[in-house]
Amino acid sequence: MGCAAKLTERARREGRSKQELAIEAIRDAQDRAELKVDDVLAELMDSDAEILDHLK
């Protein structure tokens, strides 16, 4: 079963539109991406602090 068929089946089963499910999936993906970016930024800030401490 392809992605479109799975989406159609899920929409029917949950009584929601395919568009609504797609928007929800996009928002979930954005939230996961933002968490990863936050993790990377935190690591960079930690390494910057270590470098600055070393240079003192």
* Cβ neighbours of 21 (radius 10 Å): 16
| pLDDT at residue 10 is higher than 80 | yes
Across the chain, what does the average pLDDT equal? 88
Domain ranges of the chain: 3-55
Model confidence at 47, pLDDT cuts 50, 70, 90, reads confident
Q: Which whole number is the average pLDDT over 28-51?
A: 87
HSE value, Cβ hemisphere, 13 Å, CA-based, for 20: 7
| pLDDT at residue 39 is higher than 80 | yes
Torsion sign over Cα 30, 35, 36, 37: positive
Torsion sign over Cα 16, 17, 19, 25: positive
Q: Which of 27, 22, 20 is nearest to 3 (CA)?
A: 22
Model confidence at 27, pLDDT cuts 50, 70, 90, reads very high
| pLDDT at residue 14 is higher than 90 | yes
